[in-house]
Amino acid sequence: MLRLTWVQPEDLLGHELRQAALDGRDAAAVADRWRAAGGAEAPVRAGASVEPASPSLRLLAEDLLDELAALPSPRAAAEPTDLDRIKDLCPDWPAPPTAGPGPGRARPAPDPVRLEAGWLGRAVGCLLGKPVEKLPLDAIRRLARATGNWPPRSYFTARGLPADLAAAHPWNRRSAATSLAENIDGMPEDDDLDYPLLNLLLLRRHGRDFTTEDVARLWLDELPAGRAFTAERVALRNLLAGLEPPHTARYRNPFREWIGALIRADLHGWTNPGDPAAAAGQAHRDAVLTHTAGGVHAAMFAAAVIAAATTGTHDVHACLRTGLRVVPPGSRLAGAVRHAVRLARTHADFDVVVDALHAAHGARHHWVHAVPNTALIAAALTHADGDFTGSVSRAVSGGWDTDSNGATAGSVAALLTGDPAALPQHLTAPLKNRLASSVAGFDGTGFDTLAHLTHREATRP
């Protein structure tokens, strides 16, 4: 039987119960009914449970998902999804750049060389984290230490790894063949790079004033369903069922606060240098196709941070403060980022920071949830003071969604260097200026070419 991941009702129900606990809905009665009927907890790591549910249990899961959706959340007022309501809660919302003598917004044009650094840094950070994605923190530490690569400042390798350790903690099976040091031959495909490519297509077709419906149409045309996961796969299913955005983000979608919208945010920052409000606005229109509340806030935060970093005029700490200006200050995401930054400033040993973050978030959140992962990215950038290798190393060493965290940290830190030549050659050379992708027209494209295409969209009137 085909077990399609991330959409089976019996698998979604457990994740929705967990999400209800996070946003304060009282789901105890629903949870009791589910367990009494023999329903299982959500899969811990994979997207589908091992055994399919009976037809009756699947029908019950569908009914209970709808019951949970009707429960009011006491956090809704402090964590809105609507952009105007978000702005109302942000007392320091960034002002647009001062208007110049010509038409349009007066924003600095990004440097194509800096944009190339951003693309390349994103790829390096993603590739560093790919083979250990889904592995628990202890396994990542043991694998890296066993090969003398802790903290991980070079790509992971199986060379010299004790057989018992390799058997106990297998690499990500979908990534090891292309992302271990001995196997790298160009940048392999990853959704953390495919989504920036899709957003580049989005801007080429619709400009920076695109709508959420434009995003939906682009996905239906260009995004293979098998390359979409979690909230993105649910949104595609909802579109095909005839639902309209933003309902696509809400209907039977327990992944709506996970990290998917954040990993789509880079293009919005790269094309709005010095205008974090515009970057956050673009990220919002993109994110609400698939996400709500914290998932949207994480995308807006990342876009604003990257918009600040793309100017080359701010240090990493100012960029992170800029990101918080577009997030409701009473939200879980803002609180988690502030806590992570304080930890990073307090402790010299980053492992201590990571352990504290896992103690604060690990038990309650899935490893792909936006709140802990955004906090970890902020902690890594803060602790490394924006240094590129230190930032991607720390982001990956913290576990959770390792390739996504490495990618975002790498994008920000590389922008701050301003030049792809400033990135370590032992990390950039294996990529061979070549990116694999199933997004039409981009397979094999070089990062220099992507930078010029991005620059064109950033400077288009």
SS3 track for the chain: CCCCCCCCHHHHHHHHHHHHHHCCCCCHHHHHHHHHCCCCCCCCCCCCCCCCCCHHHHHHHHHHHHHHHCCCCCCCCCCCCCHHHHHHHCCCCCCCCCCCCCCCCCCCCCCHHHHHHHHHHHHHHHHHHHHHCCCCHHHHHHHHHHCCCCCCCCCCCCCCCCHHHHHHCCCCCCCHHHHCCCCCCCECCCHHHHHHHHHHHHHHHHCCCCCHHHHHHHHHHHCCHHHCCHHHHHHHHHHHCCCCCCHHHHCCCCCCCECCCHHHCHHHHHCCCCCHHHHHHHHHHHHCCCCCHHHHHHHHHHHHHHHHHHCCCCCHHHHHHHHHCCCCCCCHHHHHHHHHHHHHHHCCCHHHHHHHHHHHHCCCCCCCEHHHHHHHHHHHHHHCCCCHHHHHHHHHHCCCCHHHHHHHHHHHHHHHHCCHHHCCHHHHHHHCCCECCCCCCCCCECHHHHHHHHHHHHHCC
pLDDT at 196: 98
pLDDT in tens, 229-257: 999 999 999 999 999 999 999 999 999 99
The answer on pLDDT for 101 being more than 50 is no
Q: Which domains does the chain have, with CATH numbers?
A: 9-69 (no CATH), 83-127+188-459 (1.10.4080.10)
Q: pLDDT tens for residues 31-83?
A: 999 999 999 998 888 888 888 889 999 999 999 999 999 999 999 999 999 99
Mean pLDDT along residues 128-155: 97
Q: Which of 45-49, 97-101, 170-174, 223-227 is predicted most confidently?
A: 223-227
pLDDT score of 268 more than 90: yes
Average pLDDT over every residue of 250-266: 98
Q: What is the value of pTM for the model shown?
A: 0.97
Of the pLDDT bands very low, low, confident and very high (cuts 50, 70, 90), residue 102 is very low
